[in-house]
Structure 1
Amino acid sequence: MEQTTAGTLASPWWRRVVWWAAIGYALVAAAARPLTGPAAWAVLAPGVALLLAGLRRTPVRRPRVGRRAAVTWLGLGVLFCLWELGAFLAGNDDAHPTFSILTDSVLATYPGRVVGYLLWLGTGAWLVTR
């Protein structure tokens, strides 16, 4: 196997293939008009595939998460949910934007949707490997 400059082993060839496949998928999926059936399938298909991959995988044994870290992440999650709920109940407009309204201007463009799909695929792959 080849070595990188940092001295660690380079990733296997199939990881590069998966990476290029993800880029290709994002380029094709981003062509779908937002809020249509093809766009929904473009999100659902890799989501289901990653879910099934995660269910089949045996998790790596890791040390327990400390209470402080758990409370921090739980607190951030609760704050995000409260912000979304509050903005939704207050009218879901420019004065009270939800996360989807804040990202609309980025995801309205083709490059923004490509980046969005790559983030979606990357986050799913990251979760599967944990």
Structure 2
Amino acid sequence: MSEESNEIVHLLTQMKLTWNAGDSAGYAGLFTEDADYITFFGLRLKGRQAIEDTHRELFKTSIKLGEGGGGAPSIRHLTGDVALVIAGGTSSVDGEPDPSRASVVTLTALRTTEGWRFASFQNTRVSRP
């Protein structure tokens, strides 16, 4: 795996750690200032501040991120500074894993002056057709 891919995997790990710690500022800091963020139910957030504000409230709940589903994330470098990332995940409520909450997350990773950050996030719940 390339050094850039390792840095993106680290960013994904930080995403899970900040979420589970309830750190809305740390979580939002993983995104670019002008990031586009779309939740599994279609809410569109625009920008780091909106991500932080929304997650501050969400993190008051007992939802935690579990182990990623579907194996290692797929990272495809589109240019030296842009990568398409597809990762799977699950979450738990009150400490109990909830398979009905499995999702696929598509992100755009961008190399910035702050390091790699996510410029877009789309969470899609896994369901049967």
- TM-score of the two chains, using structure 2 as the length reference: 0.26
Give the structure, 1 or 2, with the largest relative contact order (CA under 8 Å, sep 6 or more).
1
Identify the structure with the greater helix proportion: 1
Instruction: Specify the structure having the higher radius of gyration (Cα).
Output: 1
Q: Which structure carries more strand by proportion?
A: 2
TM-score, normalisation: structure 1: 0.26
